[in-house]
Structure formats: C-alpha cells, structure tokens
Amino acid sequence: MSDSEQTEKNLDFIRTRVQTDQRSGKNEGRVHTRFPPEPNGYLHLGHAKSICLNFGIAQEFGGLCNLRLDDTNPVAEKTEYAEAIQSDVRWLGFDWEERFFHASDYFDQLHAWAVQLIKNGKAFVCDLTFEEMRTYRGNLVEAGTNSPYRDRSIEENLELFEKMKLGEFPDGSKTLRARIDMSSPNLNMRDPVIYRIIHQQHPKTGDKWKIYPSYDFAHGQSDSLEGITHSICTLEFEHHRPLYDWLCENLGIYHPQQIEFARLNLNYTVMSKRKMLRLVEEGHVNGWDDPRMPTLQGMRRRGYTPQSIRDFCEKVGVAKRDNVIEVELLEHCLRHDLNLCAPRKLGVLEPLKVTISNYPDGQVEQVDAVNNPEDPDAGTRTVNFSKHIYVDRNDFMEDPPKKYFRMSPGREVRLKYAYYITCTEVIKDEGGKVIELICEYDPQSRGGDTPDGRKVKGTIQWVDASSAQSCEVRLYDRLFKTPDPDKVEGGGDFTDNLNPDSLQTIKTALVEKSVIEMQTGKPFQLERVGYFCIDPDEAGSAKLVLNRTVAMRDSWAKANK
C-alpha cells in the first residue's frame, strides 16, 4: 500500500469531509480555514489543538489559514492578549502570512447587514430589559413568547437602530434582535440579540462604535467575508449552527460550513480560561506563564518544544465525543522530542561529596563527554575531573537492596565518561548522616572501560567539585493531585484539589560549568535526572535558575513503588 493510500485511510472526520468537498469541486476545490480566538486571555493547550487542526488542514490540502481575533466585546478584550496570541501561534510554528484579521475590521459591513435585515423585516429593535427578555425567552421545555416590540415598523426600527448607533441610549436599554422563531426548540433561534449597546473604548476602533455585534452576528459573516470554506469550532457551538446558517442564507452571502469537534481535556489539569484566571488571581501559581500552567507561555517557559506539542495534538486525534487525555501521552511526546534534540549535561540535584583517595592531589584532567548519543553530529565536549567530585545522594546506599546497581561500600561503579570507582569508607556527621564518601579509582578505567574487560552494572553521573556551577532547581509536578480536579468531595471547588507539592525548589544543586552557556528556555538533559532549561528569572545575574521540564522515565523508581 502506498503512503497516500495509507494516509487516506486514517483521516479524522473533519479531514474526511474536507477531502470529500475538495474532490467534489465544492468551493472550486479551495480549502480555507481560520483560527479565531477572542483576545481576552492567554492561549492554552486546548487552543493548540485548534491551531494545529486549522493550520494543519490548510497545509495538508494546499489551502490557507487565517488568524482572526474575534474582538466583538470590548469589555473583556485587551491588546496585551492580542500580542501574546500572535507570538504564541508563531512559536507553535504556524504562519498566517498577511492574513491577520479582526472581526472589528468588518464592523461597517456588519452594521450594513443589520440594516439590511431590518429592511427585510428580519430584525427589530427590542426594549425588553435583560430580565424581561429572559422571561419572554421561555425555557428548555416551554416555548417563548414574542416580544411586544417585535412588530415595530421598519421605519421605526431603522430610526431606533440609528439612534443606538449614535449612542443616544444607555447600555442595556435596547438591543437589535433577529426576527426568527420564539417557539423554536433551539433557544438560539428565539429572536437572538445580534447587536447590543456598549459604551466602551474598543482596542481597535476606539470610540467609533456604541453598539457591537454579538458573536453570532459576527462570526459567520467574518468567515463569509474571508472566504472560509470550513469553519471549525468546538462542540458547544453546535446549537449555534442553525443560526449561523440562517444568517448566511437570509443575508444572501457566501455560506461557509461550520464543523464542530470535541475540545481537548487533560487529566490532572484544568483547561478553562476562567479557572486558570482564578489560579493566577488567587496566587496558586506565579502568573500565566508559571511553568505549571497549561498555557502555551507556561509550557514554553517549562521547556516544552513546539514540535512536542504539535506531535501531541496530532496523536490525540479529532472526534466529537468527550475525551480526557492522559498527561502521560503529553509527557511521552515531550520526552520523545527532547531525547532526539536535547544536549546532554552532567549535574547532581543533591550533592554528596566524594574524595578519591588514590587520585593525585591537585591534578585536574579533562574527560570527553558525548553531547547527544542520538545525534552523532552533536559531537563531544570535555568536562573537568579531579580528586574531589560530587555525586547524587540517591546514587549511594549504605545498605542496598539486591538489584541496586549504584554506589555502596565495596561496590564498583562507573563514573560516566570518567573512571571506575569503589567506595572504601563512609564518613558521617554526629547525627549519623552520610556526608562524604572516600573512594578508590582504577587509573586503567579512564573513559569507562578497563583492559581486562570487567563489567560494572551501575553508571552514575557526577560533577567536578572545583569547577561545578551551583544553581537553584525548580522541580515541577502536576498542579492537581486528582485526575479530575473538578470532582470534589462535599461541595468544594477545583482549588481544593491543588497539589501542595507541585513546586519543589532545590537551592543547592550542582551542574557542569557549560550549562551556563545554554540559552534561556532551551531544554537540555541532565543525564539520568531529567530535562531542564534555564528560567528567565535571575537572567543576566550570577545566579542560575533551572526549571525541570520533565523527569526521565524511571523504571527503577517505578519497580520500587
């Protein structure tokens, strides 16, 4: 089977549809999508799924994808967010070229269309208050009743709408409503509000407008104006589709196809802007870019690569059923990418002093270390080795269980890239805590092999005492301690499920000197420990702060649970 036949077989339902449309010649074979966030918050992993879907489909089908800011509500929207959105989409690896739009670009046209609807008797100005409108709307089981203002004359509607536009009425006093069907089982069709009065500066249009179109009156028409062929959105917009269709038809404009898919959920995570906002505002995390946040900015600071996120979005698939993805899949994608591209370094989180008794005093030599075993082109580097080194405290056990391959009295281990050593003496403080190991090394084992070919089971990492760089390391764990943070016993909320140990700070870690040359945010591997990157905190100062991106998989720890 050829590749094209292979890929053809496993398309998700949206791509299947796009392919069918393209082959049937719909829209002259054009494929044009868009990513339409509202600039009222930061982008998160859920948005990444949508971005990858929309931009991905455009790429795969030889089409285009626009970036459009859905800025129809100046109350919530800020330019700060608009800028962050652009930078995040670019960082993820997508390019909208010159096709950067705003719903507000279309306010004049949208207004004209509203007037057209009024002239056709399909929209009216309504004086009902918010509460009254709710009463008139009816409910899930009962039909609504017509607004007493529903049958105003076209002239009166036109005049009133003009006055709304001129700012002659206070917020909330009047709305423009589509005249559809108050008895529709779909509440969105019960004469929905399409324009509301908001006396508020708009980031793009300033004080030009006192009235703003609702989402429903802006979105489909924006799609139409941009020639979008497939308007992909999440499931909660499903009941809006009849209204989307009604507007395109009654306005007599080009009619894109709205298609809905199920949003992404991740266990041990909250994925809504509202909840993330609370985490930030209540100080449970240190801002939107806290490395524990599922925001693109947080993940980026944590050390996630765009490639790993794109890979993840591809692997989770697209369908209509509700889903909760296991974080293990995300971590798998992360480690998979990092394994391939992250340079290796040596470092110890909990330094334990080691003195090599038979190594010459004052001697310093340089040993060769491989930069990336997955990439021969990455080459090698040298690291200092001397009589005094540090190893990780958890790589030594005075009384180890069988199957423990690391250091213990009398057992020989390999210091990665350096020598075999054997612990000959354990030094403790008054409290009985091990504070230093005295070892002997085999001068013949330089580089990690001996002429007699004897094997050692354990290989551990280390740093040279005099040249190592000290640093602070921030170890992150999942932000919530339960898979579904919203599930709370007896009436609390998701903040009750916060993991108190989601951040552990180690102030006295030691890493090889060359770590300071790493670029902020660019992950590297501390061998056997995990992937880390330099945090922007303290950048430029002598202090070094490392974020743990993700730990190594650890089958030893798992086996011992």
Partner RNA sequence: AGCCUGGUGGUGUAAUGGUAGCACAGAGGUUUUUGGUACCUUUAGUUGGGGUUCGAGUCCCUGCCGGGCUGCCA
Residues of span 438-467 touching RNA by CB under 7 A: 447-449, 458-460
Q: Which stretch binds RNA (CB under 7 A): 80-88, 126-134, 245-253, 356-364?
A: 126-134
Q: Note the Cα 283 to chain centre separation in Å.
A: 20
Count residues binding RNA (CB under 7 A).
92
148's CB contacts (< 8 A; 6+ apart) are: 128
Shortest Å distance, C-beta 431 to RNA? 26
At 363, give phi and psi (nearest 5°): -80, 140
Instruction: State yes or no: residue 360 binds RNA (CB under 7 A).
Output: no
**Residue 368 in tokens:** 């060769």
Q: Sign of the CA dihedral 361, 364, 367, 372? A: positive
Which of positions 389-418 make contact with RNA (CB under 7 A)?
A: 403-406, 414, 416-417
Closer CB to RNA, 23 or 507, in the complex: 23
Asked whether 349 and 473 are in contact (CB, 8 A), the reply is: yes
Q: How far is CA 315 from CA 1, 76, 151, 294, in A?
A: 22, 33, 53, 18
Compute the least distance from the CB of residue 94 to RNA, in Å: 19
By CB under 7 A, is residue 175 in contact with RNA? yes
Strand order in the sheet with 459-460: 459-460, 412-415, 420-428, 434-441, 351-356, 388-392, 462-464
Print the binding letters for residues 134-153 with RNA: x by CB under 7 A, - otherwise: x--x-xxx------------
* Residue among 386 and 459 whose Cβ is closer to RNA: 459
CB count in 10 Å sphere of residue 149: 17
Long-range contact set of residues 215-218: C-beta below 8 Å, sequence gap at least 24: 215/70, 215/72, 215/240, 216/188, 216/192, 216/240, 216/243, 216/244, 216/247, 217/110, 217/113, 217/114, 217/178, 217/247, 218/70, 218/72, 218/103, 218/106, 218/110
Q: Do residues 325 and 264 make contact, with C-beta atoms less than 8 angstroms apart?
A: yes
Q: Does residue number 18 form part of the binding site for RNA (CB under 7 A)?
A: no
CB of 539 to RNA, least distance (A): 27
Q: Is 73 in the site for RNA (CB under 7 A)?
A: yes
Listed ranges 27-35, 172-180, 245-253, 293-301: which one lies at the site for RNA (CB under 7 A): 172-180
- What residues have CB less than 8 Å from 363, skipping those under 6 apart? 386, 387
Candidate residues 528, 545, 548, 549; the one interacting with RNA per rule CB under 7 A: 528
Measured from the CB of residue 537, what is the shortest distance to RNA in angstroms? 26
525 binds RNA (CB under 7 A): yes
Within residues 336-355, the interface with RNA by CB under 7 A covers 336, 339, 344
Told to check if 373 binds RNA by CB under 7 A, we report yes
Asked if 263 is an active-site residue, the reply is yes
Q: Which stretch binds RNA (CB under 7 A): 210-218, 295-303, 355-363, 468-476?
A: 210-218
Query: With binding defined as CB under 7 A, does residue 12 bind RNA?
Result: yes
Chain residues 232-291 in contact with RNA, contact rule CB under 7 A: 235-240, 262
Tell me: does residue 133 bind RNA (CB under 7 A). yes
Catalytically annotated residue among 210, 241, 273, 345: 273
Catalytic residues: 38, 263, 273
